[in-house]
Structure formats: C-alpha cells, structure tokens
Structure 1
Amino acid sequence: MASFFEFDLRALNIFSHVAKSGNMSQTADLLGITQSSISQTISNLEDSLDTKLLDRSLRPIELTTAGRFLYDRSELLLQEARKTSLAIKQADYSQLRHINISVVDSMVTSVGRALVDTVSKRAKDWSISTGRSHLHGYSLLSRNADIIISDDALEDSDNLCRFRILREPFILALPNDYTKQVRDLSKLLTELDFIRYSSNSLIGRSVERHLRSMHVEPPERLQLDNSYAVVSAVSAGLGWTVTTPLCLFQSGVKLHQIQILPLPVDPLYRSITLTARKGELGDLPKKMAREIIGTLEKDFLSEMSDKKPWLKNLLTLGD
C-alpha cells in the first residue's frame, strides 16, 4: 500500500546506507537483504518522489542534488525514530506522559481534588478543563482530550470505555418567598419568570426539550451561562428554574437559600459518565471513576440526603 508520505522508514534507512557506502551490494550484506531488493526499494522511492536520488553511472554511486536534500532530512528522521523506539522499550508505563481531562462544570468543585490526586499519581503532566458537554465529546473523539466526565457519554461511538458516576433527577428550584403549592408549571410561568440555562449547553437543551414535551414553553427572558448564575438568580428572587442536585451543590448556593422540589411533571434524569478511549490509559479511568464516586458519596450524597431526604432514593452513584 502506498504511503501517504511517499516513503517509509525502511526505505529511508536503505537509502541512507546506500548514500553512505555508495554501494548497493555492500548495503545488502550489511542489512541482510538481497541486492535486488535494495535496488527495487531505491527505484520505488525515486518513483514515488518523482525525482532521481542516485547517480548510478558513477562508481561509487553518488547522490544527486535531490538525493543530498533527502539524505540530510532522512538522517534526522531516522535518528528521531531510533530515539522513539528506545524510549518505548524503556518507558515506565505505570507513569503516563500527559493526560488531558475535560470535566462538566457541575463536577469541578465537588470532585476536583479527587481528580487531581488520582491523575497526579499516574501522569508526569496533566491538565483539567471545563466547558460545554458537546465540546467535551468532540475533544475526546478528536484526541484533544483523553478522559471526559460529562453528561454526554457518546453512546453512538465505538471503542470507548464508560463508567457511570452519577444518575440524578432534575428538580424544581424556587425562591424562598414563593409560598404557593406548585402543581402546574404553566401556571407558575404566569407568576414567576423562568431562568434558563444557555441554549448551547446540553443541560439547557435537555430541560427545554422536556418542558416542550409537557407543553410548557417559557418566554426567552433570562438565559444564563452556568449553575452559579442560574441558582443565584433564583435565590435572589428573579424567578424559578429546572436544575439538578449536583448543579445546585456546585453552585455554592446553600440549600436553605432556595426551595427545591420534585418536578410536578414527568420526571427527567441525567447521567454523568467518565468516558475514555479503550486500552490507552490502563486502569486509570476505572480508578478515577471509583475515586470520584467515593468523593461524591462522602460530600455530595451525604449532604443532600441529610437535608433533603426525599432525594436519597433518586440519586444513584456508579452503575
């Protein structure tokens, strides 16, 4: 099969030896292959590059101008290839070189320390970034991220390993001074504005889709970028929202500062999943998922269960 680069390391190695010795027979003996194989490799290399590399009319064989150009560069490529081969053979694979992790915003405060502790033990260097869930998925598939912790588990993509961290319900969040019983979200809209997540976020789209299925379509008045802004706006009495317990926990707004209730419509859930490419990171994704779940159980789940007991059976950690 033709190489995309018009040559491969084997051909460059043969060419380099011929260039140094000026003799195909001597190169054949040195490399342990036939002289005809050497000649054919050089001819194929010249054909693929569409230029003459050797002047065969001279003895010993000499390089053409193009041949000298390729020789100088092939020596650098072959030297780097040898270094890479040696590094792979001598590498300690218990220590990964660099890990890029993308995390959904609502996980950062709650599990950031567990992430750092786990990855710093297994990688010489690492980075953790946040952002939109759909961009996390793209980053993993395009190899710009090695691990994503997101509400987008890329279920339609193959060759990925997935570890569910949390399944949680969407909940209704209201200002403390709203004292009426909520049975109908359409009626609630006539009394309080709806505070929505940004429409380009996965959580925002999920909420909007669910509300539409219930024939609830709030006017576009208040659209905010993150959980802190959304939940703080509710606490300030600007309106109501649909969020999740983890988003509320991440926001830093205390549970006594707002009301939270089950949705008075059909329930809606989301799952946070750790996703990585299969086989590349050893047991790191599994260990990281276990550490994150342990942290959430100790901090997030215990607080939610103590202060809002009705949530306990609606929150599921792990698979």
Structure 2
Amino acid sequence: MASQISFDLKSLEIFAAIVEAGGMTAAGQRLGITQSSVSQSLAGLEQSLHIQLLDRSQRPPMLTPWGRQFYQRATKLLDAARQVSHDFRRQEALTLKQVRIALVDSLATSVGRELLDVVKQRSANWSLVTGQSHRHAEALLSRKVDIIISDDAVANHPELYRHRIIREPFVMVVPKGFAGPTGSLRTLAGAGDFIRYSHGTVIGRSVEQQLQHWGITPPLRLQLDNSYAILSMVKAGVGWTLTTPLCLFQAGLLSDEVDFLPIPEGEFHRDLTLVAHGQELGTLPDQLSEDIKQVLLSRYLPILQQRAPWLANAIRMGKATD
C-alpha cells in the first residue's frame, strides 16, 4: 500500500523555520543547512501538497491562507514529535512502559518472588515467561521477548548485549545414603541408571557433550524435561544425575534429601546469562543484572553456604573474568 502522507517531519521543520525566522536564508542559518536546501525543501513540500504555502512576491515571504492553516497544524505535529524524541532520549532515566522477559525455570522457581520485585521496580508494565532455554533464544531473536536469562547465551549473534549473572558447577547427585561407587562417573554409570535431561534442553545437550568429552556413555534409558522430575526420581532411589546447585534449590533438595558430590572427572559448569538487544533498553539490562545478582547473593547463596560451603565457594557471580 502506497503511503498517503505527502511530507516528512524534516520538511515541516524547515517550513516552520522559514515562517518563524522570517525568510529562507535565516531559516537555513537556524537549522545549519544551505539556503538552496531550504528552497528545495519548500518547493517539494508545496508540490506534494498541491498548494502554495508562501507568497514569495513579498519580502519577507508571507503565508498564504492555506499556508497559515498548514503552519498551525505543522507546529502541533512538530511539538508532538519533539516530545516523543525527548521522552525516548531520556529512556535511561525513565521506567520503561513495557518489558518482556523469559528465564530458566531454576531461577523462576528458586528466587521468583524476589526477581519479580526487582522487575516491577524497573518497568511499569512487564511480562515474564519460563520454559526451555532454546525457545527463549528463538523468542529473543524474533522479538517476542526483550530480555532472556538463560543458559543459552545465543553466542552466534555477537550484536546482542550479554551480562553473565552466575557461573555454577555441575554436581553428581545420588540417592540419600547411596552405597554404590562414587569414585568416578564411569563406575557409577555401571552401578545405577543415569537420569538424563532430555536432548531437547540446553542443559541436557551440555551434559551429553561433557560426558562424551570424558569418554563416558551411560545407557540411554531415562530422559526427563525438568529438574524437579529428575531429582524426584533420584530422591526415590531410581538412579543418579548431573545437575547444578540452582536446580537442586529449585527442587527443594538442598534440605538433606539427596547426596550431592563433586564430579570426580573434573570441573564442569554452566553460565546463566542475561541477553538483550543491544542498547535498545538503555541501562535496564545492566540494572536488572545487578539486581538479580543481589537477589542471589542475599536469598540463595546463604542457604548454599550453610548446606554445602564447598559448593558455595565454587559459585562465581557477575561478568566473566576467567
């Protein structure tokens, strides 16, 4: 469909400057453009409107009756446009009208109430969804959400803003009082069933890649989509798993209902990262990142420190320096 608007804001600004400055030369000086550019803009505006706006036979040029009506309406449009520009240039100091956030279940479930409190402080209108991380990345790239907090940092898009919230180690989780071998994952895999995150999840793919790196291939028997279901099966004595402290916290299993141990094969971690579109949200991504880190420091880490100091000491907060 062809545009039904026969002018742009720049031509209106030039026309208003001619009227207010008293001529084309003065208007050009006011706007920092040449007199020739002013004249061409006015001619183009009159041609597109099919009316004469200024009577050039007089010095200085005078508004025609049509020009007077158009000038009154043009100034209202320009005032509105300037206000819009002013408001959005000040976006860093203003509460955003709307922000849409997607985040991993482990954060939403473990510190959801506190996280919502900080979001409400930063936005007048907000929405928050959870779900599988790969869907969050798709939603961000298709602009269905504005911010994601995810274990998928969408690394193939360097133009995106990123701020790591937390790095946490994976741990080996076994039933309470488990008497089987825990000296290595290979021997553990031979003594009990490995309860996997499904391959459709980011955390599941990360675990499988790491196991392959270590040359360990537990039989493919049990695959579940979420931490609560997986850890409930571990608690029931069905088998063992690899997961993170936040996932344990999410499932309420930092209360001595399962045993969790360092992984004998070596260090393995996941990062939860806040990802957003460039500078479109002003300072909001940085502010939210700092707010969420403070929530974790005050609400989550003290519990982990009390239950498993060795694990709390392995947590890294904030932007990557390693």
Indicate whether the TM-score tops 0.5.
Answer: yes
Q: Could you list the per-position Cα deviations for residues 123-182 of structure 1 after superposition, in whole angstroms to 9, with x for gaps in the alignment? A: 221001011112212222221111111111223313322221111111100001312341
Moved over 3 A (4+): 5-13, 32-43, 79-93
Residues 138-217 of structure 1: pairs in structure 2 closer than 5 A: 138-217=138-217
- Unpaired stretches in structure 2, ≥5 consecutive residues: 10-26, 28-36, 51-75
Aligned to 1:228: 228
| Cα distance change on mapping 1:96 and 1:313 into 2, 3 Å | same
Q: For this pair of structures, how many residues does the alignment match?
A: 274
Question: Which letter maps to 1:153?
Answer: A
| Cα distance change on mapping 1:313 and 1:42 into 2, 3 Å | same
| Cα distance change on mapping 1:194 and 1:90 into 2, 3 Å | closer
Q: Could you list the per-position Cα deviations for residues 177-203 of structure 1 after superposition, in whole angstroms to 9, with x for gaps in the alignment? A: 312341232322232111111110000
Aligned to 1:110: 110
Aligned to 2:318: 318
| Cα distance change on mapping 1:84 and 1:204 into 2, 3 Å | farther
Question: Which letter maps to 2:312?
Answer: K
Aligned to 1:29: none
- Whole-Å Cα distance in 2 between the matches of residues 252 and 287 of structure 1? 28
- Whole-Å Cα distance in 1 between the matches of residues 38 and 142 of structure 2? 43
Q: Say yes or no: does 1:283 pair with 2:273.
A: no
Aligned to 1:17: none
Aligned to 2:137: 137
| Cα distance change on mapping 1:128 and 1:143 into 2, 3 Å | same
Q: Say yes or no: does 1:301 pair with 2:301.
A: yes
- Whole-Å Cα distance in 2 between the matches of residues 285 and 253 of structure 1? 31
Residues 244-259 of structure 1: pairs in structure 2 closer than 5 A: 244-259=244-259
Q: Could you list the per-position Cα deviations for residues 225-248 of structure 1 after superposition, in whole angstroms to 9, with x for gaps in the alignment? A: 111111111011110000011111
Question: Which letter maps to 1:234?
Answer: V
- Whole-Å Cα distance in 1 between the matches of residues 156 and 95 of structure 2? 31
Q: SS at the partner of 1:314?
A: coil
| Cα distance change on mapping 1:87 and 1:174 into 2, 3 Å | same
Q: Could you list the per-position Cα deviations for residues 51-72 of structure 1 after superposition, in whole angstroms to 9, with x for gaps in the alignment? A: xxx9xxxxxxxxxxxxxxxxxx
Is the Cα–Cα contact under 8 Å of residues 99 and 126 in structure 1 kept in the other structure? yes
- Whole-Å Cα distance in 2 between the matches of residues 183 and 124 of structure 1? 52
Moved more, 172-181 or 229-238: 172-181
- Whole-Å Cα distance in 1 between the matches of residues 8 and 215 of structure 2? 67
Aligned to 1:292: 292
Moved more, 183-192 or 210-219: 183-192
| Cα distance change on mapping 1:181 and 1:190 into 2, 3 Å | closer
Q: SS at the partner of 1:194?
A: strand
- Unpaired stretches in structure 1, ≥5 consecutive residues: 14-31, 46-53, 55-78
Q: SS at the partner of 2:97?
A: strand
| Cα distance change on mapping 1:196 and 1:80 into 2, 3 Å | farther
- Whole-Å Cα distance in 1 between the matches of residues 297 and 41 of structure 2? 65
Residue 84 of structure 1: how far off its partner (Å): 6.8
- Whole-Å Cα distance in 2 between the matches of residues 188 and 160 of structure 1? 41
Residue 277 of structure 1: how far off its partner (Å): 1.8
Question: Which letter maps to 1:177?
Answer: G
Question: Which letter maps to 2:264?
Answer: P
| Cα distance change on mapping 1:295 and 1:42 into 2, 3 Å | same
Aligned to 2:119: 119
- Whole-Å Cα distance in 2 between the matches of residues 249 and 37 of structure 1? 65
- Whole-Å Cα distance in 2 between the matches of residues 170 and 177 of structure 1? 20
Q: SS at the partner of 1:118?
A: helix
Q: Say yes or no: does 1:266 pair with 2:266.
A: yes
- Whole-Å Cα distance in 1 between the matches of residues 315 and 289 of structure 2? 16
- Whole-Å Cα distance in 1 between the matches of residues 84 and 225 of structure 2? 45
- Whole-Å Cα distance in 1 between the matches of residues 106 and 242 of structure 2? 14
TM-score normalised to structure 1 length: 0.74
Is the Cα–Cα contact under 8 Å of residues 173 and 261 in structure 1 kept in the other structure? yes
Residue 82 of structure 1: how far off its partner (Å): 8.9
- Whole-Å Cα distance in 1 between the matches of residues 305 and 39 of structure 2? 78
